[in-house]
Structure 1
Amino acid sequence: MTESAVYLQPAFILQHRPYRESSVLLDVLTRDFGIVTVLAKGVRKQKSKMAGLLLPFSLLQLSYLDKNELKTLIQAETVTRYPLQRLALYCGFYVNELVQKFLHKHDPHPRLFFCYQHCLQDLSQHECVEQTLRYFELALLEESGYGAQLDVEQQEGRAIETGRRYAFLADVGMVGASDGLVSGETLLALSAKMPLKGAALPEAKQLLRKMLDVHLQGRPLKSREVLAKIVKYL
């Protein structure tokens, strides 16, 4: 296959792992090509100038040679760093793991790329962590084809109503239920991407957790297990 090159592609590093003696394999989320694996040769050497740039939670511009499945990094530039600390750092790892679980390689999602960037920005600025995570989870579900219509009751086919409660059924969506885990008010707020306040925060957490778990199909999230020992946001 003819070797081609990609230049200055906006990207975020999701995961890295050692490769041979001095190199690293990077799983990166790119704007135009989805998740790709890139080989960064020699960056574990002490004299490597590129090693300090290849950090998670930084918007990068990557240039690489593309031949078959093997892509070789030739240049990296930092555009913006999103310094995540303490809780925000763990939340960042959680978001990265979710992206890798839900997206297929080489399947571009430009809208989700910008949602991911916005999520990191909010986390770095200590915006409402719970709300930030809920809206990213919702965007991820929608972009990966697992979204649910949150403003319509599916069995009766009518608009969600305030004052009523609803449950989520896999392969169906939202259905009316007197003991449902989420109120109509919360569903309408989520659907309209409004601020989540009061009871909407824990209700949204329960709803998104159930929606995510349906499609994770029992696959555990290591970052969720870690965070569960620290906080109750996930």
Structure 2
Amino acid sequence: MEWHDEGIVLGSRKHGETSAILEVMTAAHGRHLGLVRGGRSRRLQPVLQPGNRVTLSWRARLDEHLGSFQVEPVQLNAARLMESALAIHGIQLLGAHLRLLPERDPHPGLFTTLEVVTEHLHDPDMVAPLMARFELAILEELGFGLDLSRCALTGATDGLAYVSPKTGRAVTHEAGAPWADKLLPLPSLISRSPDRINDVEGQLRQAFALTGYFLHRDVYEPRGMEEPTSRAGFIQALMRSVG
């Protein structure tokens, strides 16, 4: 068995004296692991760092085997990411989210989104909405997508202000007003037609409270998991950068 693809490094761990097991998110083969012989060498260690973009050749005798990677660098982002606490927590959080998906399941759209988020991890203004939308995309890929395109009660596409915690569907400000205390705020930060953002910190808290609610209810709790510590670290670093 053999394939060639591009990927973004999510992490690696030692294997034996000289090798490493590499975890990558690939364009066509999903999240994939493989053995890199000599992965702890001076030449390869800098390449196998989270956030780097690489080309991969994977070989194994059988498809279900771990297999081995041949890795070549395309874009070395890790050194830049290591300069920022926000970026460090961000790349760790992206990896934690992607590990919610079955290994080797292709998610080409999600890979494209990952590329964009990784490029902007050091920029608080850009990465905030990108990460919130990445969490929405993860929910969608897991089968728990939210419908934020139109009002569940009126069908309107403008003025969306709330999300039902039961159905995950958007509601306009006017239609949702009688139940406002039972609905989740839908910040313009992640709505499809964002208004001018005045309270950035408040918008960020609402955005990650919204995605966090559905991640906990539909993913973490049913699997008996705790929220990854990198999520709290990312949000805290983000708040410090906009505070």
Q: What's the TM-score once normalised by structure 1's chain length?
A: 0.80
Q: For residues 202 and 81 of structure 1, do their structure 2 counterparts lie closer, same or farther at Cα, with a shift above 3 Å needed?
A: same
Matched letter for residue 17 of structure 1: R
Letter in 1 for 2:99: Q
Residue 57 (str. 1) matches residue 47 (str. 2): no
Which structure has greater helix proportion? 2
Give the C-alpha shift of residue 121 in structure 1. 0.7
Note if 1:217 corresponds to 2:220: yes
**SS state of the match for residue 111, structure 1?**
helix
The 1:196/1:149 distance shift into structure 2, 3 A limit, reads farther
Per-residue displacement from partner, 1:143-175 (whole Å, max 9, x unpaired)? 332211113344x36336628644322x55446
State the number of aligned residues: 220
- Quote the residue 2:149 is aligned against: 151
Secondary structure of the corresponding residue to residue 46 of structure 2: helix
**1:101-142 C-alpha deviation (Å, 9 max, x unpaired):** 2x1111101111010010011113454332221121122222
Q: CA–CA distance in 2 between the matches of 1:14 and 1:138?
A: 20
1:181 corresponds to 2:184: yes
Work out whether 1:71 is the aligned partner of 2:71.
no
CA contact (8 A) 2:8 2:25 kept: yes
TM-score, length of structure 2 as denominator length = 0.77
Structure 2 residues not aligned, in runs of 5+: none
1:118 aligned onto 2:110: no
RMSD across aligned C-alpha pairs, in angstroms?
2.7
| Residues 1:27 and 2:29 aligned together | no
Q: Percent identity?
A: 24
Alpha-carbon distance between aligned partners in 2 of 1:196 and 1:214, rounded to the nearest angstrom: 30
Partner of 1:5: 2
CA 230–164 in structure 1, closer or farther in 2 if over 3 Å, else same? closer
Deviates more, 1:209-218 or 1:106-115: 209-218
Question: Which ranges in structure 1 are unaligned for 5 or more consecutive residues?
Answer: none
